[in-house]
Amino acid sequence: MKYRYTYRNTPGDYFRFYMSNTYHSLMGIVNVIFTVAMAALIVSRWSGSNLFFRLLMIFALLIFPVFQPFFIWLRSIKSAESIRVETTVSFDEGGMEIDVLTHKQRIVWKNFYACLRRAGLLIVSPDGAHAYLLPEKVIATAEEGVEKDPERVYSYIVGKIFEKSEHMSPDMERLKEKKGF
């Protein structure tokens, strides 16, 4: 089966990526705890507070559930606009190939760090610092003769990383042990 996909990431793709990174980390836990604590503070102190402190408490309550996603959305738009051409990624026995305009890069499996599946995206990270976002909707609507099942594509990539990578992330190591490779 062929694994070759041409696409351009949308602001929505970047938004899902940034939000899933935020809420799959310690920062996400802190955000939730702060928001719950602010809600409890508002309930307990509302009647005894003047207008200034009521507004301040409401503002603090809205920081993570409203303002943070709004600013992440703005960042997502900027990220999507920074790449104005389509990206082609393909996977084969040798690794991953990325083709953007005149830039062509091949990354062999032994150098791969991780592949995650979150929020409708396959997040392929060859080195732990960079990530390629492959939306599952792109996989599902691929051209004829190309694998269209996101689960199979994910399994293929993860299987190759398990088999050949020398620099796997700790999460991938745990997944490898769990799957029995």
CA 81 to chain centre: 18
180 in the Ramachandran plot: left (φ > 0), alpha (ψ -120 to 50) or beta? left
Asked if the model's pLDDT at residue 57 lies above 70, the reply is: yes
Q: Which residue has the tokens 């091949």?
A: 106
For the chain, where do the domains classified as CATH 2.30.29 start and end?
3-8+85-179
Span between the terminal Cα atoms of the chain, in Å = 22
Q: What is the pLDDT of residues 12-47, one digit of tens each?
A: 999 999 999 999 899 999 999 999 999 999 999 999
Closest CA to 113 of 159, 150, 166: 166
3-8+85-179 CATH pick, 2.30.29, 2.40.128, 3.30.420, 1.20.120? 2.30.29
Q: What is the pLDDT of residues 125-178, one digit of tens each?
A: 988 888 999 999 999 999 888 999 999 999 999 999 998 888 888 888 888 888
CB 118 within 8 A of CB 19: no
The pTM score is 0.88
DSSP β-ladder status, 132-135 and 114-118: unpaired
Of the pLDDT bands very low, low, confident and very high (cuts 50, 70, 90), residue 1 is low
d(CA 100, CA 102): 6
The pLDDT of residue 129 is 84
Of the pLDDT bands very low, low, confident and very high (cuts 50, 70, 90), residue 119 is confident
Closest CA to 162 of 178, 138, 139: 178
Asked if the model's pLDDT at residue 181 lies above 70, the reply is: no
